[in-house]
Amino acid sequence: MNLSKVHQSLVGEAQFRHVQAEQAIFRDLVDTWELVTNFPKDLRARLQKDCPLVIEAELMSSADKSTSKALITLEDGLKIETVLISQNDGRQTVCVSSQVGCPLACEFCATGQNGFSRNLLAAEIVEQVLFWQRYLKKEGLNRVDNVVFMGMGEPLLNYEQVIKALKWLNDPETFNLGARRLSISTVGIPEEIKRLAGEPLQLNLAVSLHFASDLQREHYMPIARKYSLEELMKAVSLYQKKAGRQVMFEYLMIRGINDSDNDAKLLAQLLSGRPLSMVNLIPYNPTGRFLPSTPERVREFKKSLEDLGLKVTKRRSYGGDIAAACGQLAKK
Ligand code: SAH
């Protein structure tokens, strides 16, 4: 499927045909033009040939059914992964990829270990959400409630297409997802965070901090050799001030690497005096090289941070059995 081709293929048709096409795709969630019966037969046949609506994907579900993963094949044959997380309260969260692979090469992340192929187009990002919307309809479940840009790739290195996709998801005529239901996670590209601060869209921002010292961060996250923590935190401050939004700092818990009492102290120092900040502790999902912190250590670490005055939450990990958890997505 190539969403961006739909309007192109309808050039010359009356405006209401464009509207009907959008309704068929986003409201009725059809996956074939044959079902768009308010279109004349020959138009349906032409669209079926020019811009088919089928999304080619391989689907996997976790044993407890809470998580599903789809490996989508793009028009050029490249593959990306997208994940659906069905929370206990019935909320449906979709995790989308923003790039094919990732250029960042963080040592703890499977995506980064497999290299980078290309940026995704806004249409290819939106198609991931559409795939799950169709799936939920077939299963008789709720529609998508939240979209997080936490799949493969670095969203802020594909800035224009990501913003375009966010606006599309926000559009009342298509997905109608309020900006507060949209989140992006970034490794922390200072100039792009500043740029984001100027966007009218009030989305949620998460920063993959993971280490509170430059030395450690540089060791495991090559991008940190380019941007110091000072530069990153300055950009985040500006974002917090300008957007007035809380920022979530993601912190991976890797056994014996960044989970000591001293690490907690460094983190608290870095975030002290930043009221619009919270820490989200992420259990490290095995990708081969490291071990996760023990649950006890995570509890103690969380307690130390709270004692030092920080707001802290712990992320529940979903989909580990189908390699659909954070840091495990790959091009296969
Ligand atoms: N490039 C963006 C978007 C990816 S989001 C970013 O860095 O934020 C994926 C999240 O999972 C990031 O916070 C990433 O650091 C984290 N992650 C990477 N490897 C992981 C692993 N093995 N276990 C748990 N989380 C991991």
Minimal-distance CA residue to ligand 1 atom 8: 186
Q: Are 162 and 197 in contact (CB under 8 A)?
A: no
- Classify strands 116-119 and 312-314 as parallel, antiparallel or unpaired: unpaired
Among 182, 185, 174, 218, smallest CA distance to 203 is for 182
Compute how many other C-beta atoms are within 10 angstroms of the C-beta atom of residue 175.
Answer: 20
Q: Are 148 and 96 in contact (CB under 8 A)?
A: yes
* Cα-to-centroid distance, 7 and ligand 1 (Å): 35
Q: Does 306 qualify as catalytic in the annotation?
A: no
Helix axes 261-271, 295-307, angle to 10 degrees: 40
Q: Are 295 and 314 in contact (CB under 8 A)?
A: no
Residue of 95, 102, 106, 326 marked active site: 326
Site to substitute for ligand 1 among 82, 150, 189, most atoms within 8 A of C-beta: 150
* Ligand 1 shell residues, CB under 6 Å: 108-109, 150, 154, 185-187, 208, 250, 252, 282, 284-285, 287, 326-327
Which atom of ligand 1 is closest in space to residue 153's alpha carbon?
Answer: 1
Q: How far is CA 82 from CA 68, 105, 215, 275, 330, in A?
A: 9, 19, 33, 33, 10
Residue of 51, 81, 127, 250 marked active site: 81
* Cα-to-centroid distance, 146 and ligand 1 (Å): 18
Minimal-distance CA residue to ligand 1 atom 1: 154
- Classify strands 79-86 and 67-73 as parallel, antiparallel or unpaired: antiparallel
Among 49, 195, 56, smallest CA distance to 124 is for 56
- Can you give the pLDDT at residue 107? 94
Contacts of 316 (CB under 8 A, 6+ apart): none
Per-residue pLDDT for the chain (332 aa), expressed as one digit of tens each?
A: 888 899 999 999 999 999 999 999 999 999 999 999 999 999 999 999 999 999 999 999 999 889 999 999 999 999 999 999 999 889 999 999 999 999 999 999 999 888 999 999 999 999 999 999 999 999 999 899 999 999 999 999 999 999 999 999 999 999 999 999 999 999 999 999 999 999 999 899 999 999 999 999 999 999 999 999 999 999 999 999 999 999 999 999 999 999 999 999 999 999 999 999 999 999 999 888 899 999 999 999 999 999 999 999 999 888 888 888 888 887 65
* Cα-to-centroid distance, 330 and ligand 1 (Å): 12
Which atom of ligand 1 is closest in space to residue 207's alpha carbon?
Answer: 8
Q: Please, which contacts does 215-218 make with residues 24 or more away whose CB atoms are closer than 8 Å?
A: 216/257, 216/258
Compute how many other C-beta atoms are within 10 angstroms of the C-beta atom of residue 94.
Answer: 27
* Cα-to-centroid distance, 105 and ligand 1 (Å): 11
- State pLDDT tens for residues 259-294: 999 999 999 999 999 999 999 999 999 888 899 999
* Cα-to-centroid distance, 108 and ligand 1 (Å): 8
Residue 326 sits at φ, ψ, to 5 deg, of -50, 135
What CATH number belongs to 57-322?
Answer: 3.20.20.70
Start and end residues for every CATH 3.20.20.70 domain found in the chain: 57-322
Burial of 207 (0-12, 13-18, 19+ CB in 10 A): buried
Q: Does 95 qualify as catalytic in the annotation?
A: no
